[in-house]
Structure 1
Amino acid sequence: MQSGGQHRARYAWRAETRYGTPFVPDVPGQADFGGRVLHAAGYRSPDAFAGQRVVVVGGGNSAIQIAAELGPLADTTLATRRPIGWTPRHPLGRDLHWWLKHARLDIAPIRRLPAKVPVSVIDDGHYRTALDQRRVDRRDMFSRFTADGLVWADGTKEEVDAVLLATGYRLTLPCLTGAGALDTNSTPLHQGGLSTAVPGLGFVGMEFQRSFSSKTLRGAGRDAGHVLKRLRTAVAG
C-alpha cells in the first residue's frame, strides 16, 4: 500500500494503545522548578537518582514499582490524589482476571472513581513489603512547584531534587482528525468499539472499551471478535 494515497475498504480497524503519548499533568509552578521532572516513559534506572530527594507522582502499579526501586538509593515519597489500595494478584490461587471473568465482574467498568476511593494496585505482596522496608511514604498530591522544590497539600514547603511522573498515557488519533469520529476531547465516539459516527469504523485496545481488561491482550482479543461481528453485521445490513 502506497502512503499518501486514498484507499477504499468495506470497514476499517484502529488498533489502539495508550502507551505512546505520556500524560504530563499541569501543576502550577513547574516552569520555575530548577530540579528534574521526568515522566515514567523516560525512566530507565534508579542509579541516576542515587542520594537524591525524589517524589514519584502516581498510585498505580508503575508508580509503586518505580518507588520500590528508588527506595534503596534515594529518599523517596509517593504523591497520590487517592489512598493506595492493595489487590491480591492471585486470590485463592487463581489469577485476578480469572476471577473477574468467571464472576462476570469484567463487564461493567468504572471510568471515574470518587476522590477517596483507593487506587487499586495489583500485587503479590512483594512491592508492598518493599515500600515498607525501604521507608517509602505516601502523601497527598502536592499543590505546586517552587524554584527548588514543592508545596505539599498541607502547605509545607520542601526542597526536592527530582519529580518522577508515573501519570499514565493518553490516546491520540491524529489520523482521524477531521473525520468526525472524535469528540471535542479527541476521544473516539463509539459503543463497545464500534464507531457511532463513521459507519464501518471500529476500535480495539482502548481502555474500558468493553471491560476492565480491554487495553490488555486478553481483553483486546475478546473485543476484536465482538467488533468484527458487529462490523460484518452493519456492512451486510
Structure 2
Amino acid sequence: MTRLQIILASGAAIVAALAAESYLGSRSTQYKINGISYGVPHKYEFMRNFSLPWLAGVKGFDKEPDQSIWLLFPANQLAQGVHGYSRWFHGYSDQVEADIVVNVLGGKEAREFPGDRLTDMTKVAEELGKNSEVRPDPMRSWDRVYWMVGEKGTAGQGNDLFYLIPHSGVEHLPPDWRVPSCQSSPDINGRETYNCLLTVYRDGRTFGFSIRQENLGLANQIPNYVEARLKEWRS
C-alpha cells in the first residue's frame, strides 16, 4: 500500500469514527492538561485532536503539542460572561461578531513561558534601540512600538505590525503576559482596524488568543472566562 493510500485510508477511518461517535451519542472529547481531564463539548472545539502514531513519521503531519486544546467561544456567550465585552467588531466593510479562538496549553510548552516572555521583551528593547517609531495607542497608558510599517494608501493607512507595551516601559508589562503583537489594516474607507495576539500564563497553563481593538482593554479577563468554562467540563 502506498503512503497516499495509507493517508486516504486513515482519513476514511477518522470519518467513520466521527460518524460512529455521532450515532452513539458522544458529544464531547476528552483532553488532559497538567493531570486534569476535561470533557469538552464538540460545539466548543475549534480543532479536533486525533492520535495516529504513524503520522509522527510523515513530514508536514506533525501532531499537535501534548496537552493542547483549541476552543471557540461565540461572541454572544463572551458578552454574557465578560462584563463590557463588545459582541461586534468593525471589519473591512461591516460589523462582524467577535468570536474568539483560544489555545490552552499545559506541560512543557506552558513551562517555557518565562523564556518566551524574555525573548519578546528583548525584541522590543532592540526595536527601541533602533529608534523605531513609537506612538500612543488609543487604549490609554499603552504605546505602540512599530517594527514594520506598511506602504500608506490614499487614505493614509497601511498594514502595520507593532508591539504593544505599557507607557511606563516594557518592564512594566503584566508579569503573566507575553508582549502583545499586533497588526493594523485599513477598512474600506481607510479607517484603521487592528487586532493583537496575546499569550497569558495562569496556574501552569498558557492561554493564546487574538483579540480585536474593541475588546483589547478586556484581554486580561479572557483567561479568567476560559478557566471558568474549563471547570464546568472537568471529568
What TM-score, normalized to structure 1? 0.19
- Structure (1/2) with the larger strand percentage: 2
What TM-score, normalized to structure 2? 0.19
